[in-house]
Structure 1
Amino acid sequence: MPYEDDRFDILLSAHFLFLYSDTFDYDFHIETIEEMLRVTKEELRIFPLVDMEGKRYKALDKVIAYLNERGCTTEEIEVDYEFQKNANTYLKVKVK
């Protein structure tokens, strides 16, 4: 991204990453999340946590473990709406 490090307090990734897990693999997701974290000072939110079929992203636990090992704090948060089937949570990532 053409932004300097720590440019944004909060960054929201909506309706992209895990929805297209049939097209983009785990390595792509990690590279993309790393780039988002680079430009984020405090918090990254990723929504939704399901693929196009409404199934939880199969490598989500692996992504969460990676983020926790990196020093981030993660929390899956339920929302009051459902964009699509089972799309009612987001991943809150606190940057360290």
Structure 2
Amino acid sequence: MSNTSHRYLVLISKIIFFYSIFYVVMKILAIFQGAWLIPNLILSLPYVIFAMVGGIMVKRNSYHWAYVIAGAIIISLIRYYEQEWMVQLHNYFN
């Protein structure tokens, strides 16, 4: 792998890692401010997984393109359908 592509891999992996941490923290703060508990917890589960995997990758300093590709796809899907899924989950569990 070239040096440039490795730098992009590291950069994008860290962006996904830190974004996942930020998203989980924001969802926890929203829950404490009165947002729906179960839908927010369910929708933040993939971000928790990405944060844990990303933390391991950063600690070991070994990165993989599968993490970047899966992160980009799953984060995009969740953010695109988040409002719709939030209401559906709330209606299902209440």
The normalised TM-score by structure 1 is 0.25
Structure whose CA Rg is larger: 2
The normalised TM-score by structure 2 is 0.25
| Bigger share in strand | 1
Higher relative CO (Cα under 8 Å, sequence separation at least 6) belongs to 2
